[in-house]
């Protein structure tokens, strides 16, 4: 992740493996220095991740667990300035960082969204629906998009159709956000995916309607657990728990489903 971000190697924080090697070689003689390496690792992990990412949350949980274990094992036995770091101070600093990052992330997302907005061109006619090869596509809906590469074994792409229109030359087009399958993302090799998991993305595209190759459905994990989705083949029902933002191993857990109107139709 650090290499992908272009961070110079000499600015990388210690990894847990490096800290363990230092322990094995007896390099730590003071508790405060031992703690500092751990805290630097946790701080850097939060700085380099999104405020709503699992990495951000994991770094905080590990830091709090470190403090708890430090007090259990060392308090009353060692005298050290390390004990001045307490849970409340960590939580306060983390919350301050989270708010700052949330503001920055919202601004970045706004700019990215604006960059992808394309004004309606002269002569284009918006449509509410489209019948192609006997299948009715409406707004909004999830659809398969046939591939244009030579990888015939790979499954078709998925898009959330948000606009259907006819160009001034008579071509039928659909526009929407791509939904990525696991193999379309950059992720750690040991990352586990749930069955039929997909990821909502902010990537907007326009494709020819002739590439439409069927309907599918994408729902939240909560909906998949508590609602029976009727009229959809199980193989065409996908579950989404995270957004994928296009950067290496960059997933963000969805706290509130962004398309509540879709969920309401299933109740």
Beta carbons of 216 and 236 less than 8 angstroms apart: yes
Domain 16-113 matches domain 125-265 at the CATH topology level: no
Homologous superfamily (CATH) of 16-113 is: Bromodomain-like (1.20.920.10)
Distance CA 245, CA 200 (A): 9
For residues 169 and 121, what is the distance between their CA atoms, to the nearest angstrom?
A: 12
Question: What pLDDT shows up at residue 52?
Answer: 80
Structure tokens at 227: 């609602």
State the burial class of residue 114 (Cβ atoms within 10 Å of its Cβ: 0-12, 13-18, 19+): exposed
The vertex-91 CA angle with 89 and 93, nearest 5°, equals 70
Q: Which residue has the tokens 């509410």?
A: 128
According to the model, what pLDDT value does residue 1 have? Answer: 47
pLDDT less than 70: residues of the chain: 1-14, 108-119, 247-249, 263-267
The CATH number of domain 125-265, selected from 2.40.10.230, 2.30.30.490, 2.60.120.1570, 3.30.499.10: 2.30.30.490
Provide the pLDDT for residue 265. 67
Q: Give domain limits for the chain.
A: 16-113, 125-265
Each residue of 155-182: pLDDT tens digit? 999 999 999 999 999 999 999 999 999 9
Residue 67 has a pLDDT of 95
Residue 236 CA to residue 212 CA, distance in Å, equals 14
Cis peptide upstream of residue 140 (ω within 30 degrees of 0): yes
């Amino acid at each position: 992740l650090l290499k992908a971000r272009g961070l110079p190697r000499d600015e990388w924080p210690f990894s847990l493996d490096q800290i363990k090697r230092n322990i094995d070689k007896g390099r730590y003689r003071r508790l405060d220095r031992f703690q500092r390496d751990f805290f630097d690792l946790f701080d850097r992990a939060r700085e380099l991740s999104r405020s709503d990412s699992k990495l951000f949350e994991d770094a905080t949980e590990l830091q709090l667990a470190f403090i708890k274990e430090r007090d259990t094992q060392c308090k009353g036995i060692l005298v050290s300035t390390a004990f001045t770091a307490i849970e409340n101070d960590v939580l306060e600093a983390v919350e301050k960082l989270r708010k700052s990052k949330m503001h920055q992330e919202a601004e970045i997302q706004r700019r990215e969204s604006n960059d992808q907005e394309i004004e309606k061109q002269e002569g284009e006619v918006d449509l509410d629906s489209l019948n192609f090869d006997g299948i009715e596509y409406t707004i909004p809906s999830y659809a398969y998009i046939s591939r244009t590469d030579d990888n015939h074994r790979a499954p078709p792409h998925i898009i959330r159709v948000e606009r259907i229109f006819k160009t001034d030359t008579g071509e039928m087009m659909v526009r929407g956000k791509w939904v990525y399958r696991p193999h379309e993302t950059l992720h750690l090799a040991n990352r586990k995916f749930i069955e039929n998991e997909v990821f909502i993305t902010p990537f907007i595209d326009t494709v020819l309607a002739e590439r439409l190759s069927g309907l599918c459905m994408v729902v939240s994990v909560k909906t998949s657990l508590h609602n029976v989705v009727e009229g959809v083949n199980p193989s065409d029902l996908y579950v989404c728990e995270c957004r994928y933002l296009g950067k290496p191993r960059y997933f963000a857990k969805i706290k509130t489903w962004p398309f509540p109107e879709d969920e309401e139709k299933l109740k």
